[in-house]
Structure 1
Amino acid sequence: MPVDNASLGRHAEPCQQVVKQAIHWLLRLRNNHGNLRLNRQCEQWCAEHYEHELAWQRVQSLQAELSHNLCAVPGAQVAFHTLENSAQGLGRRQALKLLSGALLIGSAAWLVKDTAAWQQWRADYATATGERRGFQLPDGTRIELNTASAVDLHYTAQQRLITLGRGEIIVTCAGSDEGAPSVRPLRVQNRDGIYEPFDARFILRQEDRCTRLSVTRGRVVVHAGGHSFDALAGQSFLVDQSGLRAAPTLDMDAGAWLDGLIVTRNMRLGDFLAEVARYRPGFLNCATDIADLRLSGVFRLEDTDRLLAILPQTLPVQLRYRTRWWVTLERAV
């Protein structure tokens, strides 16, 4: 089945059909160990599109998790144990069927867990990987969405609620709602808390284990962990379901992405690449021996390949492109 690159390029995650193709390649390579021709064909398939590469990474990762009891998928461990220890007694088709069933169950669980593409499709406002967009809401409130972000609006006669499903948002209040903010208060909600602004401008960034709140104007009342806290202009906090705590000082400008920039101040290379990776599909990483190198500067986001090409000019590193979407940095030799 031909792959529509224009269509797939709009999504940050591989579709289920591509995941199944990756599983098929894994099964073929597993049962033809040492076949160099088959390995080259798989590498060519991975290079055809970033979704292929990403699906291949995820399926390999899933296999490792299942093999080491790190992923509790019903039936998967039995399948792998049987395949590893009783392969001699299984016919090729039986082994393929057994392993395929385990991987399909696991990949289905992964697809359900990783809902970025689904959230983007169903959200009221959303951005794809690398995309940044601004929206004016019905009450005059302005929201800016960073890369791979999604929000829903719940505006009724009683409330104005913005729900951040994923990603990062800048909210700029339009002032009171027809002179009666207590009648229809504006609130922003995500998994970690509720944020009630008063003539404020603030940034919410939803991370893996917490949410970073940065207030640039006015006051935001944070409701989290069963308590309420005031966050004032110039303050930053980390919020989770236990409450909030002062955020460590960032080594980058929290809101520079609004202007299409990453502005760093003595930032670790490993952290910088993790930030750049948010704006491009595929895999981006560096060797551990250079992760602690530091860099400062202003970097433009519209072309992340060009951005990466600048790094060897200022740091003792070199770029390694396995494919267009799989990039690692190593120490220059």
Structure 2
Amino acid sequence: MTPMDNASQRRHAEPRQQVVKQAIHWLLRLRNNAANARLRQQCDVWRAEHQEHELAWQRVKTLQAELSNNFPAVPGALDTLENSAHGLGRRQALKMLSGALLIGSGAWMGKDVAGWQQWTADFATNTGERRGFQLPDGTRLELNTASAVDLDYTPQQRLIKLTRGEIIITCGGIDQGASFDRPLRVQSHHGVFEGVDARFILLQGPVCTQLSVTAGRVAIHSPIASNGGPIQVLPGQSYLIDHRQARLAPALDMDAGAWVDGLIVPRNMRLDNFLHEVGRYRTGYISCAADIADLRLSGGFQLDNTDKLLTVLAQTLPVKVRYRTRWWVTIEQQV
């Protein structure tokens, strides 16, 4: 077996930190809702989705036992952490539990411990990465490149906080596992949105959030309509929301949700706008000369390899790709 094979085996023998954090989240929810058979079934589904999920679950269960063994002077240490969580909120509880588990298993996490302590998001992606997650209530969450969300699920609410980037939410109606209705709401920097049997996309920019609904119905709760009630958004509609108002967006020049399939699909899109979108999936700077910025293109382009995408672009339009460095790319007119 080659050194590379050994390295690959070691990587697959240890679940990623983010997956371990998800396992801790499930552990906390199940301990606080021991009689909820539906929740336990959802956890079983999550564990069966991927071998890494099951490995993370077993690691966390092992660490839970180690925690009790390593702190004999503090009986019920895990329960104490969870009781404290009622006053602190779930995210603080995760941090406390993560820290305690790490103290009891420093050899396992090794030099990755510092990375745990610096996390600020429950789910996140790097530049160029796209990932999907199944949430405890059955909601499907898709994260686009360089995106992050936090979950605030309590007995009183189900809230997803979009802290950066773009997400797709596929949700049902009310939470059947709760003793009372808990609508699913998503909060961006610019508004609060409630989905009912819906699939919708939220893209958070520096000055506004773009909402696009592909199925079901989404209510914009903040900012509210002029009549004082929520704005109801139907399939095929898109809105731009800032701190003051929500307004219908002009016709989109690209398929808003194609990225979940690894595609960017422009529709008579300006070249400079297209490159701005492509730039979200790669590290560095990419632009075009002013004299070709208004060139238009339509079609479908693969996102997984942006260098190859640029090669295809040069075959589609009368342009050439100039690499000043690996991370500094300009598109120029072909002469």
TM-score in terms of structure 1 length: 0.62
Residue 27 of structure 1: aligned partner:
none
Q: CA separation in 1, counterparts of 2:301 and 2:179?
A: 40
Secondary structure of 1:251's partner?
coil
Which residue pairs with 1:305 in the alignment?
Answer: 307
Counterpart amino acid of residue 308 in structure 2: R
What SS is found at the alignment partner of 2:300?
A: strand
Distance 2:246 2:307 in 1: 37
Q: Could you tell me how far apart the structure 1 residues matched to 2:126 and 2:263 are?
A: 17
Aligned: 1:239 with 2:241: yes
Give me the whole-angstrom Cα distance separating, in 2, the residues matched to 1:126 and 1:179. Answer: 26
Matched, 1:326 2:324: no
**Correspondence for 1:25:** none
Deviation at 1:319, TM superposition (A): 1.1
Per the alignment, do residues 305 and 259 of structure 1 end up closer, same or farther by CA in structure 2, a change over 3 Å counting? same
Cα distance change on mapping 1:274 and 1:181 into 2, 3 Å: farther
Q: What residue number does 1:176 align with?
A: 174
Match of 1:184, SS?
coil
Query: May I ask how many residue pairs the two structures share in their alignment?
Result: 217
The answer to whether the Cα contact below 8 Å between 2:155 and 2:178 also exists between their aligned partners in 1 is no
Aligned partners of 1:314 and 1:222: how far apart in 2? 39
Aligned to 1:284: 286
Write out aligned runs for 1:126-205 (5 A). 126-178=124-176, 183-205=181-203
Q: Once superposed, which parts of structure 1, at least 4 consecutive aligned residues long, lie more than 4 Å away?
A: 179-182
- Amino acid in structure 2 at the alignment position of 1:290: I
Could you say which residue in structure 2 is the equivalent of 1:70? Answer: none
- Asked if 1:269 corresponds to 2:267, the answer is no
CA distance, structure 2, for counterparts of residue 268 and residue 170 of structure 1: 25
- 1:176, distance to aligned residue in structure 2 (A): 2.4
- Deviation of 1:225 after TM superposition, in Å, equals 2.7
Gaps of 5+ in 2: 1-114
- How much has 1:224 moved relative to structure 2? 2.0
Equivalent residues of 1:238, 1:247 under 8 A apart:
yes
| 2:83 alignment partner in structure 1 | none
Aligned to 1:100: none
Matching residue of 1:214: 212
Corresponding residue of 2:232: 230
Structure having the higher strand fraction is 1
State the 1:321 CA deviation.
0.5
The CA deviation at 1:174 is 3.2
Aligned identity (percent) is 67
Letter in 2 for 1:304: T
Q: Deviations over 1:41-71 (max 9, x none)?
A: xxxxxxxxxxxxxxxxxxxxxxxxxxxxxxx
- Give the distance between the partners of 2:193 and 2:206, measured in 1 at CA: 19
1:35 is aligned to none
> Structure 1: which amino acid aligns with 2:284?
G
One-letter code aligned to 1:240: D
Distance 2:179 2:185 in 1: 11
1:122/1:255 Cα in 2 relative to 1: closer, same or farther (>3 Å)? same
Q: Taking structure 2 as the reference length, what is the TM-score of the superposition?
A: 0.62
Amino acid at match of 1:222: I
Q: CA deviation at 1:226?
A: 4.5
Structure 2 counterpart of 1:293, from 275, 292, 295? 295
Give unmatched runs, 5+ long, in structure 1: 1-116
Looking at structure 1, the residues matched to 178 and 245 of structure 2 have their Cα atoms a distance apart, in angstroms, of: 29
